[in-house]
Structure 1
Amino acid sequence: MTDIAHVSQSRNLWLKFALPSILGAVVFLAPIPNGASFTIPFGILIDWVNDNFGTLVSALLIAVTVISAAATIAFSVFRLGPQSGFLAETFRVSPAWLVLRTLGAAFCLLYFTGTGPAFVTADSTGGTVVGFLMKNLLALFFFAAIALPLLTDYGFMEFVGAFMSRIFKRLFRLPGRAAIDGLASWLGAAPVGVMLTVQQYDMGVYNRREAATVATTFSIVSVPFCYVIAKVVGLQDIFFSYYASVVFIGFVCALILPRIPPLSRLPETFAHGRASEETDVILPGETAFQAGIRMGLARADAAPGPTGFLKNGVRNLIGIWFGLVPATLAVAMIALILAEYTPLFTWLSMPFVPVLEWFNVAEAQAAAPALVIGFADMYLPALIGAEIASQETRFLIAILSVSQLIYMSEVGALLLRANLGLNLGHLAMLFVIRTIIATPIAIFLAKVVIF
């Protein structure tokens, strides 16, 4: 009986590892024919929701932003509600987040009711952010919150990470464990990768230089977010070519950045005076496949069952919808208003215009602001570039939206709060270096390979 129970338990564990991982890989990574090109099932789901339930999504967006603002004011200003727990973590925030969520609700109401000033209700501002981007993000966050754990929580990430661990050691001067952290970002979300990296630093797995390198080099925008960027600039029909270009440029940046300042000059000290506790991903006598299976099964064993999966998905969805959506809306609106109605980003981008013209980039004057505005938020370059006629130029902007990686609305703020020795100057320098590396490669790919 004991042997039978052991076999049954082992079979159940293998199923718990394999089924969610395969389903997640299909949803987010499987190519699906779409006319003359390909897309992914995740993108089809988003398009289906927006095409068939547009009015419902608009009403839901209003409800999310208004409820978020009201609850944040109640928790943060009037100190109502529980003092700890999930709701407190979501709605008891700093004054800056309080202002952003309130502004997000105000912008949303002013746009949908048509009572706001022209700089809010115009197609180039409110129509782009509220009427298009945020509606897409609302659907994206819903499916991502539910489905992304299939990739990140049931062993797929560990299995693939085992095969990449030796590459990370040899090419990127990083412990093999960093491969799994990198996949947590690429397949999940950049903030997840940053938080995971900080935890590993606190545990002594990384020293300060290694942790800062992982957090600033591999915390790239995830697959579903890349799809939305591609859709914003009208490149969803070549999504796989676009994403392959993103991966290639990310690889090149990862080769260069750890070997030059500011990352190369960070001290190789460990948190709290700890000694290194690094253990190799692949144990002595193991193959990469065996290590991947071992870690994948261990991860699946610790993962929740169906009820816990749904519960965690709902919690993630609430946290993202009510915590992130209104603030993202506010930041994007403010930046687009500044871009449309002030010369601020035109002035800041002036040094880039002759560079783009030298590379024969079409509509260089219109594209240049996209090279600098991404430091505020990753969606902004795509929003600025959406109206540009040249497909090659929109491709460049979509690449930069993702490849610049350091954006202050989320990842940058997390990096500054973490004790990794990074300051605002470091982040600005990394943003500029990534832009310098990514721009000529993206232009070459657009002109010679993609189109």
Structure 2
Amino acid sequence: MNDTIVSTAPRSLWLKFILPSLLGAIVFLFPVPNGESFTIPFGILIDWVNENLSTLVSGLLIAVTVLSAALTIAFSTFRLDVGSAFIKKVFRVSPTWLILRVLGAVFCVLYFTGIGPEFITSGATGGTVVGFLMKNLLALFFFAALALPLLTDYGFMEFVGSFLSRAFKRLFRLPGRSAIDGLASWLGAAPVGVMLTVQQYDMGVYSRRQAATVATTFSIVSVPFCYVIAKVVGLQDVFFSYYGSVMLIGFVCALILPRIPPLTWIPDSYAPGVTPHEDDVLKPGETAMQAGTRMALARASEAPGFAGFLSKGLHNLIGIWFGLVPATLAIAMMSLIVAEYTPLFTWLSTPFVPILEWAGVADAQAAAPGMIIGFADMYLPALIGADIPSQETRFLIAILSVSQLIYMSEVGALLLRANLGLHLGHLVMIFVIRTIIATPLAILLAKLVF
């Protein structure tokens, strides 16, 4: 759309931008009283579902995992050729993802029927992952899939991103448009931000170094996911202090990481065959307000109506429920089984114990495995730290589980498949560096909050 969109936009277009964006901001960002503390309306919805519809959610979880495994076998192994391109994309996957989905279904059925071995049905493993975490995630994904487009599809990201564009250029050595990608991760989900960044690289909007920097620095876990992490460790009453701490640490990491290896090793080359784009967030003589309004209205003009909104939400829900939930369940279960029934993570985390003790962290022995297990999946540190008595230590673990950012179950796998010049060694380095930066800050913030 041209530059006259603001002056010529009809009232209906303004309403299409303002109303969904305002509703989305209220659902995900607006603080509401919750006893002696505050929460967000999104969290209240999740809590209500899990408290009042627990049996229904359990049945849904079994149905989702079993159906996902059966359809993935049919489409991926027997090459079933029916349904839309979207359905084929969800269920036609690599052997690794096929195995994870089948394992997710097996773990789920064995836990709920109680016929599985003790290491699957125990409260420390199956009870934590299947009986608590995945039931919370099922409700979270339902509301997130339907409501997140309010923030991502109707101009809210573009409007807010315009005010951040200059800061991204000066502070993070990135194009102004990367502010919008960062918001896509913050408000949507980290994998969404990574996929958007890869698309922008393929179109010539980012160089390889810029894309790698955005994907590994700003693909932070979204607000609703952070609420689940806070709930897992029993800190939902201090959710805003927790999320503020995550944002502060993310900001510090974003200042440092683009200026040091391995990101400085990535060349500033563009995708083959593309013409580099100019950064057009702020045009000459344009204020941030003008640019934000222009881009927001342009985005709203392309956004779907109510039927399209529901259709997209349903597609999101199917992709996440049947594609992500079973694999996440499998990875979390296997990791917790290893953590509970073998000394592996205790051995690997031994060097962190004296460091945490020196820093005055209570229950350092129990907290140390949370320093490294997050590389597998972001939920695992919170799961293994949920029973730690010290609130300060649980706060520390919850912050690290999000701030480390690189986890192989989603973001790491996406980055390795993308052609951004990142390999496994780079991801390990970034994970370690983020942990080194985040840990002392998280310890200090935990002591301030508690």
TM-score, length basis structure 2: 0.97
> Helix, strand or coil: the match of 1:374?
helix
> What does residue range 11-410 of structure 1 map to in structure 2 within 5 Å?
11-82=11-82, 85-410=85-410
d(CA) in 2 for partners of 1:232, 1:131 = 12
C-alpha RMSD of matched pairs (Å): 1.2
Q: State the shift of 1:351 in Å.
A: 1.1
SS at match of 1:38: strand
More moved, 417-426 vs 351-360: 351-360
Measured after TM superposition, the shift of residue 8 of structure 1 is 10
- TM-superposed CA distance for 1:79, in Å, is 1.3
For 2:449, give the aligned amino acid. Answer: I
The residue type paired with residue 259 of structure 1 is R
Alpha-carbon distance in 2 for matches of 1:423, 1:313: 33
SS in 1 for 2:301: helix
Cα distance in structure 1, aligned partners of 2:394 and 2:426: 28
| CA distance in structure 2 between the partners assigned to 1:275 and 1:354 by the alignment | 52
Shift of residue 204, structure 1, vs aligned partner:
1.1
Instruction: Provide the secondary structure at the position in 2 that maps to 1:33.
Output: strand
Q: What is the SS of the residue equivalent to 2:236?
A: coil
Amino acid in structure 2 at the alignment position of 1:306: F
What corresponds to 1:441 in structure 2?
441
Deviations 1:275-304 (A, max 9, x none): 421223111111100100000000000000
Check whether the contact 1:206–1:278 (CA below 8 A) recurs between aligned residues.
no
Measure, in 2, the Cα distance between the counterparts of 1:259 and 1:76.
43
For residues 52-96 of structure 1, the C-alpha deviation after alignment (integer angstroms, 9 at most, x for no partner) is: 000000011000001001111111111123286011101111100
Gaps in structure 2 of 5+ consecutive residues: 1-5
Distance 2:9 2:209 in 1: 42
- Asked if 1:450 is matched to 2:441, the reply is no
Residues 7 and 356 of structure 1: is their aligned pair in 2 closer, same or farther, counting only changes over 3 Å? closer
Residues 311-355 of structure 1: CA deviation (Å, up to 9, x unaligned):
110111011001100000000000000000001111111111111
The AA in structure 1 aligned to 2:221 is V
Letter in 1 for 2:54: G
Could you tell me how far apart the structure 2 residues matched to 1:336 and 1:391 are? 21
Which has the higher mean CA deviation after the structures are superposed, 67-76 or 135-144? 67-76
Cα offsets for 1:243-275 (capped at 9, x unmatched)? 000000000000000000000121111110544
Deviations 1:136-188 (A, max 9, x none): 00000000000000000000000000000000000000000100000000000
The DSSP-based 3-state class of the residue aligned with 2:235 is coil
* Distance (whole Å) between structure 1 residues aligned to residue 13 and residue 191 of structure 2: 29
Runs of 4+ in 1 over 6 A off after TM superposition: 6-9
CA shift for structure 1 position 134 = 0.2
AA aligned to 1:346 is T
Partner of 1:3: none
- 1:339, 1:374 → 2: CA distance? 12
- Equivalent residue pairs, number: 445
Residues in 2 aligned to 1:177 and 1:199: alpha-carbon distance in whole angstroms: 13
The answer on whether the counterparts of 1:331 and 1:409 sit within 8 Å (CA) in structure 2 is yes
- AA of the residue aligned to 1:446: A
- Whether the 8 Å CA contact 1:204–1:278 is kept in 2: the answer is no
Superposed CA offset, 1:39-62 (max 9, x none): 000000000000000000001100
Residues of 2 paired with 1:274 and 1:325: CA distance? 36
Residue segments in structure 1 that go unaligned for 5+ positions in a row:
1-5
- 1:103-146 superposed Cα distances (whole Å, 9 cap, x missing partner): 00000000000000000000000000000000000000000000
Report the residue type matching 2:301 in the other structure: D
CA distance in 1, matches of 2:52, 2:177: 43
Q: TM-score w.r.t. structure 1 length? A: 0.97
What SS does the corresponding residue of 2:159 show, helix, strand or coil?
helix
Structure 2: distance between partners of 1:258 and 1:23: 35
**343-352 vs 225-234, which deviates more?**
343-352
How far apart in 1 are the matches of 2:36 and 2:83? 55
